[in-house]
Chain A
C-alpha cells in the first residue's frame, strides 16, 4: 500500500464525512416527518431545494450577504414545507397512505419543474463561505467551506435536539410521534404539531440545500433528484424514524460514496452505494437504529 493511497483514503474519508452532514440533515428531515406522521414525504428534497432558490433570489436581486442567503434558504424551505403539508398531507384521508405518498410525488415533480422553469435550467452562482480557505494537515487538505458546512449542520442538529428534548413543542412532537391518540386526549393539537414538524424539517432541508450549493458554489435544479435519493438511502441505512440513525447514515453514505469513488471509480460508485442499500434492506430492514416498537 503506497503512501499516496493512504493519503487519498484519509482525504476521501474526511471529505465524505464532512459532506455527509448535508445528507444527514436531509435524512433527519425525512425521518422527522415519518416519525411524527408515519408517512413518507417524497417532495422533501425538492422542497428543500426550492427553499434554496428563495435564498438565491435574494442573492441575485439584492446581492444579499451569505448568512442572509442561507437564512432565507432555510426559512423559505420551511414555508414551502408547510405548503407541501397542506397540499399533500393535511387533507388526504388517513386510511389511504398511498394518497399522500403519490401526492408528494406529484409535488416533487411540480417543484422540480417550477425550479427548472424559473431558472431556465441554468446553473447560478451561490455564495460560499471560506471557499478559498484550506486547513493543511501535512498532505491532507481540509476544505474551509466544508468545515463551515459541517459546523452549520452540527449546529442545526444541536438546535433540533434542543427543540425536541427541551421545549414544550418538542414534548408535543414526541408525544404525537409515540401515541397520537393519547397525545390528542391530552389536549395536544396533532394537526398543529404535524404542520410545525413540516416547517422544522423544511428548515433543516433548506439548510442542507444551502450548504450543498455553498460547497459547490453553484445551484442547479438537477441537484433535487440527488437530494431525494440520498435522503432516502440515509433513512433506510440509519433506520426510518431514528434521528441518530439519520445522522450516522448520512455520514456513512457520504464516506462510502467517496471511498467507493476512490477504489472503483465514478462509474461504479453508485452501484456500490446501492448495493449497501440493498444489503441493509435485506439483512437489516430496520436500519442501524430502527426500532421494532409500534404504536396505536
Chain B
C-alpha cells in the first residue's frame, strides 16, 4: 500500500513537472526590437515601420512563434525605440538596445543616422583589435546606397535605387522616345535626396542618353520655389526628376503648375511614393512616376497591407521592408538554432549575424530578394504613378 502511494505520488510529481516544463516552454520569449524616427517631422516612417513589425510578429506568434535549438517554441516580443532621425540619439538608442536582451534590431529610418551609427559597430567580424559593438542590425528604411559595407554586423533590406532608376530611365527612353532632355530638382540638405539625385538619378539618366539641361536646389523647410521653377521653365525639359521628400516635392510641383511647366515625364524620389505625397498635393502629383519595392500587387502583399493597416500603419516601400525583415529573421532564427537564454545572448546574436550573412536569397512581398555578399539586397520592384488618390502600377519590370 505504502509502495503504491509512493509510486502514485511520484507519477503525480513527474506529471506536474512535465506540465510546468511545457508551460515554461510556451512562456519562452525572445526580443527583436525596432528603432528609428517615430516622432518628429519624419516620424511617420518610424510609425509605419513599427506597425509593420508589430503586425508581422503578431502573425509569426499566431503561427506558433520561432523554434529554439532544443526544439521548443518561443514567442517574439518587440518594442520600438525612437531616435527622432538624430544621429546622436540613434547611437545612444542602439547602445541601449545592445545592453538589453534583444537579439537583433531592425532600423534605423534615416540615412544620416545610419551612416554614423554603423560606424560604432565592429567593422570586421572576429577582428580582436576592433572593440566596436557586436550587435546585428537589419535595416529596413535608411536607403542611401552602400551603407552595409561599413560593418559586417549590418544587413539591409532596402531596395537598390541604382538598379531601380537605371531600369526606370531605360524604360522611359523606350516608352517616350521623343524625350531627350532632363532637369533635376534636389532637396540639398537631406542626405537621401542629395545622394539619389547626384549619384543615382543623374547618372542613370545620362547613361540612357538624356541630356541634363539644368538643376535646381532647395532646402528641406523652404516655402518659396519660384526662382528654381523659373530656371526649369526656361530650360523646357522633356523629363523633370524631383529628388525630394513630400513637403518640398509638393511645394515644387505646385510652383511648376503655376508656371505652367509641363514635362512629358515627371519622375519622383522613392520615398515620395507614399500617402504623404497624395495627402499633400494629389492634383499636382498626378502622373509622377516612381520606382518602388512595394505595391499591393499580389495576395500576400495585400494581406500584409491589411494587417499593417489594422495596426494603424501604412505599408509602403519602407515599412514593407520592416515586415519582410521580421519574416526573414524568423527563418534565420529557426535555422540558426539559438538557445534564447541570458547566458547565450552573445552567441545567439552571432548566430543570427552569421545566418543573415549566409543568405543568398530571401522571400519578399513582391518575390525573391537577392541577398548580396556585402549585406545589401536587390529587391523586385515596380514603377508606380499617382492616379487619383492612389499609386497605381504603371509597369512591372519583373512581369
Contacts and interface: CB of A to CB of B under 8 A. Distances in A.
Q: A and B: partners?
A: yes
Interface of A: 4, 8, 11-12, 15, 19, 113, 116-117, 120-125, 131-132, 134, 141, 143, 212, 215-218, 220-223, 225-226, 257-258, 261-262, 265-267, 270
Interface stretch (B10-18, B116-124, B224-232, B325-333): B224-232
**Residue among B42, B220, B247, B250 having the largest count of chain A Cβ atoms under 10 Å:** B247
B234 A4 contact: yes
In the A-B complex, list the 5 residue pairs whose CB atoms are closest, starting with the nearest. Answer: A123-B280, A121-B41, A123-B247, A266-B217, A217-B254
A53 B72 CA distance: 53
A122 B217 CA distance: 22
A217 B227 contact: no
25 contacts: A8-B230, A11-B227, A15-B226, A116-B41, A120-B43, A120-B44, A121-B39, A121-B42, A121-B43, A122-B44, A125-B279, A125-B280, A134-B258, A143-B226, A143-B258, A217-B284, A218-B250, A220-B41, A220-B280, A223-B221, A261-B227, A266-B219, A266-B222, A266-B228, A267-B217
B230 A212 contact: no
Nearest to A145: B258
Nearest to A262: B227
Contact of B247 (A120, A131, A220, A267): A220
B259 interface: yes
B398 to A, nearest CB: 30
B280 A124 contact: yes
Contacts of B251: 216-218
A228 to B, nearest CB: 11
B50 interface: no
B279 A123 contact: yes
B67 interface: no
A261 to B, nearest CB: 5
Contact of A116 (B43, B226, B246): B43
Contacts of B226: 11, 15, 143
B: contact size bracket: 35 or more
A120 B250 contact: no
Contact of B279 (A11, A122, A134, A261): A122
A111 B153 CA distance: 39
A221 B41 contact: yes
Q: Determine the main DSSP class of B at the interface with A.
A: helix
B227 A218 contact: no
Nearest to A213: B223
Contacts of A143: 226, 258
Contact of A226 (B43, B223, B230, B257): B223
Contacts of B230: 8, 11
B42 to A, nearest CB: 6
Contacts of B171: none
A134 B257 CA distance: 12
B217 A265 contact: yes
Nearest to A221: B41
Contacts of B111: none
**Residue among B44, B227, B234, B246 having the largest count of chain A Cβ atoms under 10 Å:** B227
B84 to A, nearest CB: 10
Given A117-B39, A123-B279, A124-B279, A132 B223 contact: no
Contacts of B43: 116, 120-121
A11 B228 CA distance: 12
A221 B247 CA distance: 10
Contacts of A131: 254, 258
A267 to B, nearest CB: 6
Nearest to B254: A217
A152 to B, nearest CB: 16
A222 B39 CA distance: 13
A135 B42 CA distance: 37
B195 interface: no
**Residue among A123, A124, A262, A270 having the largest count of chain B Cβ atoms under 10 Å:** A123
B10 to A, nearest CB: 61
